[in-house]
Amino acid sequence: MFKSPSVSDTDRRVHKSKLALKTALLEWMSRKPLASITITDIVKSADLNRSTFYKHYVYKEDLFDELLNDVIDDLKLAYRAPYQHFRDFDIKDLNASAIQIFDHVLAHASFYTLLVHSNVLLDFRDTLYITLKNLYLEDVTDLSPDPRLDKELLACYQANAVLGLVTGWVQSNFKYSASYMAEQLLEFTRMNRSQEIYRSNLHSATSPAG
């Protein structure tokens, strides 16, 4: 007897199709500008037909925008991983295994390689920087602030430091493991800020301490 596909089966197919289209788009963007890429180019590389593309998108720019949003959403999840389940957290007690930002970069290696090695995503580099800066400013409150430090400038420093490490890692063709990069980032952070304690603003004041 024919069995109707479950919602999860349908969702998996949609995810698989969208992933194939995004992967194909990135491959083409490494060869030529978005304006020169056709929908036919994309679907042929994805081994799909045009009707599948139009089930999900109207224009190739819609696909591109969703790709960018996917990366930003995943970046936010990765950045928040070390503190999302804690109300208060101490820099010196952080574990490198909780740092997931380099796992995020590795999961989107094609995207970050394109970002670093070409000018195609030049504008998006600013978007990444602003995202990282705002996450620091909005997500956490320093419970042991140094009055000599300007929080907004520190957020700029932090965002650029993370982007710098990511850029260097990509330029080295991912010479080091994601876990090694996480360890190094944590050690760099501890060098001058080991006594800092933060409160996560992702939790309400009534949340139990982690």
Range of the domain at 129: 68-210
Its pTM stands at: 0.84
Does residue 63 sit within a domain?
A: no
The CA–CA distances, whole Å, from 162 to 5, 45, 93, 130 equal 43, 33, 20, 12
The CA–CA distances, whole Å, from 47 to 50, 104, 176, 196, 208 equal 10, 26, 33, 51, 50
Q: For 183-205, how does the pLDDT look when each residue is reduced to its tens digit (9 = 90+)?
A: 999 998 887 665 667 788 886 54
Indicate if 54 and 82 belong to the same structural domain. Answer: no
Indicate if 109 and 182 belong to the same structural domain. Answer: yes
Indicate if 77 and 159 belong to the same structural domain. Answer: yes
CATH code, domain carrying 14: 1.10.10.60
Cβ proximity of 128 and 75 under 8 Å: yes
Q: For 147-181, how does the pLDDT look when each residue is reduced to its tens digit (9 = 90+)?
A: 888 999 999 999 999 999 999 999 999 999 999 99
